[in-house]
Amino acid sequence: MHMIDALISPEVGGTLAAAAAAVGGYSIKKISTRSEEHKSFIPLIGISAAFVFAAQMINFTIPGTGSSGHIGGGLLLAILLGPHAAFLALSVILIIQSLFFADGGILALGANIINMGFFTCFIAYPFIYKPISTRFKSGTVIFGATIAAAVIGLQLGAFSVVLETLISGKTELPFKTFLFLMQPIHLAIGIVEGFATAALILYVRKNAPEILIGDMQKKTSGLKKLFRLLQY
């Protein structure tokens, strides 16, 4: 879903960069009071971001499309860290990828942050995953909710790519052709990411359930425990 600079106009790129900066500033404000009280949570955001960064390096082939994909990680970060910290962590990942790995362009950076971070952290997580996982405690239901949230988050992001490219006047493909190219590919990616995320969340529920509790101190303790378990 990484957009390159050739797919977006300066006007659209600048607008989305401003939007990403605004959401980032809002997220910093939301977690700043908590970070002063629980300073140990900040390094855990970095460790979580590093984990997702490494996971994004693993590409898988999508049969029948000639394309490959990788997980986005936004939903996983939102479940583990909360939406605001997750958005900041994913933003840092995308900035590093853009500046040092040429994965997505500088002009398209704001678009990539919105497409991959906003829809998963502030739409899929709070409106799909969280209400279901709060109401129902069954592992099967949570597994399904995770897959649904991952798929919808990626579908929204993929649809945004099509719109942003169309508004920028950078595509020679008709709108419907580009749309029907993007959505099935990201449906497949969303399903794979949903399964991977759900498997990890079920592992967390069993071994470090305090991560999924809203209390910051318990979440911090649980994340430390999780990373120790993942080292083995």
**Portion of the chain with pLDDT greater than 90, in percent:** 56
Q: What percent of the chain has pLDDT over 70?
A: 91
pLDDT digits (tens, 9 = 90+) for 176-207: 888 888 898 889 889 999 999 999 999 999 99
Of residues 128 and 7, which shows the higher confidence score? 128
Tally the domains of the chain.
1
pLDDT digits (tens, 9 = 90+) for 124-168: 999 999 999 999 889 999 999 999 999 999 999 999 999 999 999
pLDDT of residue 69: 65
Mean of per-residue pLDDT scores for the chain: 88
CATH number, domain with residue 212? 1.10.1760.20
Going by pLDDT thresholds of 50, 70 and 90, the confidence category of residue 214 is low
State the pLDDT at residue 132. Answer: 95
The residue ranking higher by pLDDT, 216 or 200, is 200
Give the 3-state secondary structure percentages of the chain, helix then strand then coil, rounded to 5. 80, 5, 20
Give the domain range for residue 11.
5-230
**DSSP states of 77-126:** HHHHH-HHHHHHHHHHHHHHHHHHS-SS-STTHHHHHIIIIIHIIIIIII
pLDDT surpasses 60 at 67: no
Q: For the chain, give the number of residues.
A: 232
10 to each of 105, 159, 184, how far by Cα in Å?
12, 20, 28
